[in-house]
Amino acid sequence: MTRRRASYRSLDSLKRDQRLCRLCVEAGYQLESWPVIAAGNGQRAFLYGQAPGIVEGGERRPWRGRAGKTLRRWLDLDEDAFYATFYCASVTRCYPGRPASGRGDRTPTTEEQRLCEPWRDHELSLLRPRLIVTVGGLAARRLLGVTSVTESVGARYEHDGAVAIPLPHPSGASSWLNHAENRERVAGAVALIHAELALL
Ligand code: SF4
């Protein structure tokens, strides 16, 4: 049976419970991995994506597949710098598997998103990051209430005392990045992120 406390005194104790979370499975949803857990401690910024992919689910570590490589290239950070800078979380933490169409990964249901959200809230209250980067439309919508990727990428938001900067998802599944003006938006967002990282 999953255990999730009303509050946590440290990220280590939170991760001990999070690692064993089966709330969605207990609610009847099929998941294809155990939770993916943020590596290390002491990160200055919070990165919030959609859900792990098959590679991340297998390794139980975030951003290990092709999308992670693209994200690090955008940010011009090598693996060590990336994982030391960002505490990597996501709207849901377990690989959701394939959709019925067999294309891409299944988008977690609204109920799965709701079940997972308290993990994020515990993390944010323990970390108190000054910078949050959302990755992909679902994460921006869920955390910031932002509905348009095009309008949000390159913009700067506030969330509970932190600066929040959205990025699109780097998976390449959408054609959004094929447009030159959108790639310029990404470059603008990355410049904002680096400016904020320099202040941390
Ligand atoms: S997606 Fe989140 S709430 Fe659902 S089982 Fe995984 S860690 Fe738990």
35 Cα to the center of ligand 1, angstroms: 6
Structural domains of the chain, ranges and CATH numbers in brackets? 11-199 (3.40.470.10)
200 Cα to the center of ligand 1, angstroms: 30
CB-based contacts of 120: which residues, under 8 Å, 6+ apart?
48, 89, 91, 143
Q: How far apart, in whole angstroms, are the C-alpha atoms of residue 66 and residue 31?
A: 21
For ligand 1, atom 2, the nearest C-alpha belongs to 116
Check if 23 has its Cβ closer than 6 Å to any atom of ligand 1.
Answer: yes
Residue 60: both structure tokens together: 């139980």
96, 106 Cβ separation under 8 angstroms: yes
Q: Which atom of ligand 1 is nearest to the CA of 2?
A: 8
Residue type (1 letter), 18? Q
Q: How far apart, in whole angstroms, are the C-alpha atoms of residue 160 and residue 158?
A: 7
Residue 69, number of CB atoms within 10 A of its CB: 13
Q: One digit per residue, pLDDT tens: the chain, 200 residues?
A: 899 999 999 999 999 999 999 999 999 999 999 999 998 889 999 999 999 999 999 999 999 999 999 999 999 999 999 999 999 999 999 999 999 888 889 999 999 999 999 999 999 999 999 999 999 999 999 999 998 999 999 999 999 999 999 999 998 778 899 999 999 999 999 999 999 999 99
Check if 4 has its Cβ closer than 6 Å to any atom of ligand 1.
Answer: no
9 Cα to the center of ligand 1, angstroms: 20
Q: How far apart, in whole angstroms, are the C-alpha atoms of residue 81 and residue 25?
A: 34
Render 101-156 in DSSP notation, one character per residue: T-SS-PPPPHHHHHHHHHHHHHHHHHH--SEEEEESHHHHHHHH----HHHHTT--
Check if 89 has its Cβ closer than 6 Å to any atom of ligand 1.
Answer: no
